[in-house]
Chains A and B, each alone.
Chain A
Amino acid sequence: MQRIGVFVCHCGTNIAATVDVKAVAETLKNESGVVFSTDYQYMCSESGQNIIKDAIKEHKLTGVVVCSCSPRMHEATFRKAVASVGLNPYMLEVANLREQCSWIHKDIATATEKAVILGRAAIAKVHLNAPLTAGESPVVKRALVIGGGIAGIQTALDIADAGFDVDIIEKEPTIGGKMAQIDKTFPTLDCAACILTPKMVEAAQNEKIHIHSFSEVADVKGFVGNFTVTIKKKARFVDETKCTGCGLCTEKCPMKKVPNEFNMNLDNRTAVYIPFAQAVPKVARIDPNYCLMLKNGKCGVCSKVCSVGAIDYKQQDKFIEERYGAIVVATGFNPIKLDKYDEFAYSLSPDVVTSLELERLMNAAGPNGGTLLRPSDKTHPHTIVFVQCVGSRCDDSKGKPYCSKICCMYTAKHAMLIREKYPDTEVYVFYIDVRTPGKNFDEFYRRAVEEYGVHYVKGMVGKVTPRTDGKLAVQASDLLSNEQLHIDADMVVLAAAIEPDKTARPLATMLTTQMDTNDFFTEAHPKLRPVESATAGIFLSGACQGPKDIPETVAQASAAAAKAIGLLCKNSITCNPCVAHSDELMCNGCSSCEKVCPYGAITYIDKEFRMPDRTTAIRRVASVNPAVCQGCGACTVACPSGAMDLNGFSNSQIMAEVDAICK
Chain B
Amino acid sequence: MQEAIINKAKELLADGRVDRVIGWKKGEFSYDITPAVFETAEEIDAEFVCNDFTSANVSKYLVKETKKDGTVLAFLKPCDTYSFNQLVKEHRIDASKVYTVGIPCDGKLDPEKIKQKGISGIRSIEKDGDMLKIDTVYGDETLKISDAMSERCLSCKSRKHVCYDELIGEDGDVISSNRFDMVEQLENMSAQERYDFWRSQLSKCIRCNACRNVCPACTCEKCVFDNDDSGISNKAAADSFEENMFHVIRAFHVAGRCTDCGECSRVCPQNIPLHLLNRKFIKDINSLYGEYQAGADTDSRAPLTDYKQSDCEASVVHERGVE
Contacts and interface: CB of A to CB of B under 8 A. Distances in A.
Nearest to A597: B305
A591 B301 contact: no
A652 B229 contact: yes
A587 B221 contact: yes
A503 to B, nearest CB: 12
Contact of A641 (B224, B257, B301, B307): B224
Interface in B285-306: 301-302, 304-306
Interface residues of B, number: 25
Interface in B264-323: 301-302, 304-307, 309
B299 to A, nearest CB: 11
B230 A596 contact: no
B133 to A, nearest CB: 45
Interface in A618-663: 619-620, 638, 640-643, 651-652, 655
A537 B121 CA distance: 75
B227 interface: yes
A595 interface: yes
Contacts of B224: 641-642
A588 B305 contact: no
A595 B305 contact: yes
Nearest to A640: B253
A608 to B, nearest CB: 13
A642 B224 CA distance: 7
A454 B95 CA distance: 81
Contact of A596 (B67, B217, B305): B305
Contact of B230 (A506, A604, A651): A651
A189 interface: no
A248 interface: no
Contacts of B34: none
A604 B257 CA distance: 20
Nearest to B86: A590
Contact of A585 (B90, B222, B253): B222
B220 A586 contact: yes
Given A586-B222, A642-B230, A595 B306 contact: yes
Contacts of B257: 640
A589 B231 CA distance: 22
A274 B229 CA distance: 67
Contact of A506 (B90, B220, B309): B309
B14 interface: no
A168 B153 CA distance: 60
B309 A509 contact: yes
Interface in A507-559: 509
Nearest to B256: A592
- Describe B's contact surface by its main secondary structure: loop
- A590, A591, A617 pick with most chain B CB within 10 angstroms: A590
B67 A641 contact: no
Interface residues of A, number: 24
B45 to A, nearest CB: 32
B230 A620 contact: no
A587 B223 CA distance: 10
B92 interface: yes
A588 B231 contact: no
Nearest to B222: A586
Contacts of A619: 221
Given A586-B220, A640-B257, A595 B230 contact: no
B227 A586 contact: yes
B207 interface: no
Contacts of B229: 652
A642 B227 contact: yes
A641 B250 CA distance: 11
A325 to B, nearest CB: 25
Interface in B77-116: 90-92
B220 to A, nearest CB: 4
Contacts of A590: 90-92
Given A620-B91, A642-B230, A652-B231, A592 B220 contact: no
Contacts of A589: 90-92
A640 B218 CA distance: 9
B222 A641 contact: yes
A190 B304 CA distance: 55
A640 B251 CA distance: 11
B306 A588 contact: no
Nearest to A598: B307
B91 A641 contact: no
Contact of B67 (A509, A585, A617, A640): A617
Given A585-B221, A640-B253, 13 more contacts: A586-B221, A586-B222, A588-B92, A588-B220, A589-B90, A590-B92, A591-B90, A595-B306, A640-B220, A641-B220, A641-B222, A641-B223, A652-B229
| A-B pairs, 3 with minimum CB distance | A641-B220, A590-B90, A595-B305
Interface of B: 67, 90-92, 217, 219-224, 227, 229-231, 253-254, 257, 301-302, 304-307, 309
